[in-house]
Structure 1
C-alpha cells in the first residue's frame, strides 16, 4: 500500500544543505517534508563525520546568519552540558577538538543535537515532517513539472508518495536528477566543455573524487583494543597508488600538485616538526574539560590514507556500488589495523595498540560513519556554470573576487580535488573568495526542481571549493527561500533569475533573512592587495 502525503515543499535528502533548506522553507510559512536515508540528519557534519572546513574570515564574516547561529549553538551546547574548564567556558571562539583543520571541530552527535534543536519549532508546530530511512525511487512529471515522488523506507520497505509544489534535491549525490531525466554532469568535463585550464581533453563521467568512510578513534596508553585483521588488509597494505612512492597505508602522502616527493606525517604531536594527524580532525580535546569524563581525546580519521578512489559510486549498477562501498569500508578498517599493529613510530617501534575504534560515536556495528563522506555529486547543467576562471588565483583571468550580478551568497575555499576514480589525479589551486550565482541553481527543464546541496552548476574543478560546509549550507538556505519566495510571489525560479527587478527583490529578501551576498570591502581589499 502506498501512503500519500502533500506539502508545499519537499526536501529530498537530509544533508547539511537539506537541513537548512527545510528550516528556511518552514520559516517562510510553508509546509515541508524532509527525507533522509539514514537515521541522522546533517550529512557531512553528522552521519558522514566531517567537522566544518571553513575559511580564514569565518569568525566575523563570510557566511549566512543562520550558519553563524549553528556555530554559536555548537559552542553553547558544550558550555551548557559539558564540565568545561573556566578558560574553555570563557572562550568565545571555543574549538572543542582543538583541531588544526577546523576552528570549530566538534563531535557528530553534538552537531546532530544542534540541528534537531534548530528544527524543533517547525516540527512541533507541524510545519516540518521528517521521514528517516527513506530513499527516492521514481517520480511523475507533467507540463514541465514534477507532480509526485515515490519513495521507499529501506528499513520496513513501506512505500510513500509525496506531492509538492517544489522538490529540492538535497541528496549528496544528486539522486533526483537521473530520476527526473534532467541534464547533468558527473565526473570530469572536457576542456571543450568548460575551457578550464585543469580540465582534461576528454570528458570522463566516472572520474569523480574519492569518497571516504570516516573512522572515530581515541587513544588510551597501555590499552590493547586491536581489531580483527580486515579481510582486505594485505591488499591495502601493499597497494601503491599511481604516481606514489609508498603504500597507501604509510605516513607518506603525495602532494596534490606533484605526487612525488611525498610529504611525511605521523600520529601524534612531536618535536621533529612532522605534522601529526591525530589532532588534524580531533573532535574532543580532553584539555577543555575540568573533569576527566573521557578516557582520551577523540579524533575522526578522514585522511588521504583512507580516501577510496578505485571506482565511482555514481551512475553504476547496484552490484558495483555495493562492491565499492565494501572496499571503502575495508580500506578504513585496514588503516585502523595498520595504525594499531604496524605503523612506524618516531621512537623506532611499530604500532599503537592503545588506539580504540569508538563504535559509540556513530552508533554503528562496524564503528564506521553511518554514510560515506561524499565530495562530489551529480551537478545540474545550469543557466550559469561556475568555472575555474571565476575563482582561481592561478589562471590569471580574475584579479580578486569575481562578481556575479545575480549573487545569492558567498564562500571561500581552495580548489581542492582529492584523488579521482579513473585518472587518479588530484588538484590543489589557491582561490579567491567567491560569490554564489543564482544562475547556478537554474535548470530549464523542470520548473519546480531545485538543487540544494553539492549539485548546483559547478564543474568538476570548481566543485572542489563549493563543496565545503558554509557554502553547502548557503546553497541549501537559498534553495529553501527560493522555493518559498516563488510560491508566495507567483514567479518561477527561472523568471526570478531572468528579470532584473524580480532578481533584485529576491536578493533584497535574502539579505533581510540574513544571507550575506557580497564580501565586505576589507576582504575585497585584502585579497586584491595582499600584504607582501
Structure 2
C-alpha cells in the first residue's frame, strides 16, 4: 500500500501529536503513525504522569494547555467527583507529588483522540496505529518516503511526503535515513560542559523503566508468580547503588546520599518527605463521592530503572527490554512478599495491557541529531552560568521549557546527575539537521547533548517542540522555503515566529524574573 501526503509524522507521542495538530490546523494534509495502539507516548503508553514546571498554568504551549483543560473536563463529565473537587479549576485527579496534575493514561489517550477527531473526519489527517518504521528511502539530502509495517497484519505501508517528522521515542528515522546523529554521552573536551564525562561513551545512556499501576487491597493476597530473574535482582548490587534495587532504599539525586522510603507514609527523615504511594498517584480516592474509586498509583520509582544495557546500540535490545520488564515484576513480587504488602494488585485495565506493565518502556534518552545548533549546559545550567543572568536568550526561539537537568543512572555505570537549570527557550537551530533538508525531530532527538537532554525531555517541552515543528513545515510548504532558509534569513525567521505567536499563541520568551529564577 502506498500513500502520498504533505507531512508524515512517525511517532504518536506528545511531540508527534502536537506536530500533526499544528500542521493540519495550518492547512496541511498529515499522516500520523504510532507503534502502539495509544497516542500520547510518555503520557499514556509509557505510563508517566506529566512532569511540569511551576508556571505551567500560564506559560504552557497553547495545545498543551488545551490538552490539560480537556482532561480535567473529561473527569468532570464522567467521574463521581465531590462537588468542591469538580469546581476546582485546577482539578488534580491523583493529587500526586511529582506534578500538580496527575491522571490516568487512558483518559489522556481518549482526549488526544478527541482533539484529533475532526481532522480525521475531514480527511486532512490519517492515523495509523500499531505501525513501526522499517525503512527510509532517501535521495541526496532528502527523505523521499518511509515504509512502515503493520504490527497486526504484517502488511507494509509506504508513505511519500514533502516533509518527514521523526517523533519516535528512540529517533528511529534518524538511524534508518542515515541522518548524522549522536548516541550517548559526549566528552567534556567536545562540549566544554562541566558535568560531561571525560571520555565520550555511546553506551552512556539514561536508564529506562517498565512502569506499572497498582491499587492496594489490605487483607487480600494478589501476589504474582515469582519472576524468572528474581534471584539476580534480589542479590545484585550495582557499584554506584547503596544495595540491591529490590528494597525501599535509593539515593538523593542531587547529593547521592542514601535514603529509605516508606510505601504509605512519609519517613520522618528529611530525605524522604512523602510516601512512595503518593509520588505518582493518578487517582486519589478522596476526590470521589463515597470513596467510589480507589487510590491508584503508578510505579515509576528508582527501583525500576534498568541500567544494565541500553536500548540503542545494545547487542540485543529485545533482551534489554525483557530484562527491564523482569526487574519491574521482580520489584512488585518483592513488595508483595518481603516488603510485606500482598494486597498490592496490578491494574492492567489502567495500562491497557494483559500483564499490567505499560505498553512501552519509559524512554529518557534517544538518538540526537547533529543540529545546526546544539544546546549545551553553558546555555541553561545555573552552575555553568555563574553570573546569575539566567538562561541564554535565543533569537530563533520557538517555545519555552523548564526542568532541572535530571539524568537518571546510566548504562555506563554513572549514578544520578541532577543539577539546577534556568527556565529556557527552545532554539530553532536545535531542530534542524546539519545536512538533511526535509526531516525534522519532534521528540528527545533534537540537538541537545547527553547533559541538556536531561531538561529538554519532559512532557510540556516535547509538546512545544512538536508544535514548533508542525508550524515550521507548514510555513515552509506555504512559502516554498526550507527550514534552514527560514532560520538563517532574519525576515523569514521573523515571519515564522509571527505565525507561531499570532496563529498558535506560542510564547517565545520568559519574563526576566522567570528566566533568572532558581530553585
TM-score bin, normalised by smaller chain = over 0.9
SS in 2 for 1:113: helix
Further displaced range: 215-224 or 396-405? 396-405
Partner of 2:396: 406
Cα distance in structure 2, aligned partners of 1:396 and 1:494: 29
Aligned residue among 149, 155, 160 for 2:152: 155
Aligned residue among 294, 312, 315 for 2:313: 315
**Over aligned residue pairs, what C-alpha RMSD do you find?**
1.4
- After TM superposition, the structure 1 = structure 2 runs for residues 427-506 of structure 1, keeping only pairs within 5 Å, are 427-506=417-496
Partner of 1:385: 374
Partner of 1:338: 334
Partner of 1:81: 78
Partner of 1:195: 192
SS in 2 for 1:139: strand
- Check conservation: 1:9, 1:168, Cα contact below 8 A: yes
Cα distance in structure 2, aligned partners of 1:137 and 1:368: 25
Aligned residue among 242, 260, 279 for 1:264: 260
- Check conservation: 2:184, 2:450, Cα contact below 8 A: yes
Partner of 1:329: 325
Cα distance in structure 1, aligned partners of 2:199 and 2:455: 22
Q: CA deviation at 1:397?
A: 5.0
Is 1:212 equivalent to 2:201 in the alignment?
Answer: no
SS in 2 for 1:308: coil
SS in 2 for 1:187: coil
SS in 2 for 1:211: coil
Unaligned runs of 5+ in 1: 344-350
Partner of 1:370: 359
- After TM superposition, the structure 1 = structure 2 runs for residues 18-417 of structure 1, keeping only pairs within 5 Å, are 18-61=16-59, 63-259=60-256, 261-270=257-266, 272=268, 274=272, 275-294=274-293, 296-317=294-315, 320-343=316-339, 351-397=340-386, 399-417=389-407
- Check conservation: 1:309, 1:424, Cα contact below 8 A: no
Q: CA deviation at 1:316?
A: 3.4
Number of aligned residue pairs = 514
- Check conservation: 1:97, 1:106, Cα contact below 8 A: yes
Residues 271 and 381 (structure 1 numbering): CA distance in 2 closer, same or farther, change over 3 Å? closer
Aligned residue among 9, 12, 17 for 2:10: 12
Cα distance in structure 1, aligned partners of 2:34 and 2:417: 31
Q: CA deviation at 1:255?
A: 2.5
Cα distance in structure 2, aligned partners of 1:396 and 1:434: 13
Further displaced range: 285-294 or 480-489? 285-294
- Check conservation: 1:16, 1:472, Cα contact below 8 A: yes
Q: CA deviation at 1:521?
A: 4.0
Describe the superposition over 1:372-414 as per-residue Cα deviations: whole angstroms up to 9, x where unpaired: 0000010001111000011111123562131001111111000
TM-score by length of 2: 0.97
- Check conservation: 1:42, 1:112, Cα contact below 8 A: yes
Unaligned runs of 5+ in 2: none
Cα distance in structure 2, aligned partners of 1:420 and 1:466: 17
Cα distance in structure 1, aligned partners of 2:77 and 2:290: 15
Cα distance in structure 1, aligned partners of 2:245 and 2:384: 31
Q: CA deviation at 1:249?
A: 1.2
TM-score by length of 1: 0.94
Q: CA deviation at 1:520?
A: 2.4
- Check conservation: 2:180, 2:434, Cα contact below 8 A: no
SS in 2 for 1:435: strand
Cα distance in structure 2, aligned partners of 1:230 and 1:329: 10
Q: CA deviation at 1:148?
A: 1.1
- Check conservation: 2:137, 2:144, Cα contact below 8 A: yes
Q: CA deviation at 1:271?
A: 7.2
- Check conservation: 1:242, 1:424, Cα contact below 8 A: no
Q: CA deviation at 1:270?
A: 4.4
Cα distance in structure 2, aligned partners of 1:444 and 1:420: 28
Q: CA deviation at 1:291?
A: 4.0
Cα distance in structure 2, aligned partners of 1:264 and 1:56: 27
Further displaced range: 405-414 or 391-400? 391-400
Describe the superposition over 1:242-284 as per-residue Cα deviations: whole angstroms up to 9, x where unpaired: 222222111111233443x311111012473543111100000
Q: CA deviation at 1:237?
A: 1.2
Further displaced range: 357-366 or 429-438? 357-366
- Check conservation: 1:66, 1:514, Cα contact below 8 A: no
Q: CA deviation at 1:35?
A: 0.7
- Check conservation: 1:441, 1:450, Cα contact below 8 A: yes
SS in 2 for 1:163: strand
Q: CA deviation at 1:183?
A: 0.8
Aligned residue among 491, 507, 512 for 1:516: 507
Cα distance in structure 2, aligned partners of 1:520 and 1:80: 36
Describe the superposition over 1:130-186 as per-residue Cα deviations: whole angstroms up to 9, x where unpaired: 111111111222242111111111221101100000000000100001111111011
Residues 270 and 382 (structure 1 numbering): CA distance in 2 closer, same or farther, change over 3 Å? closer
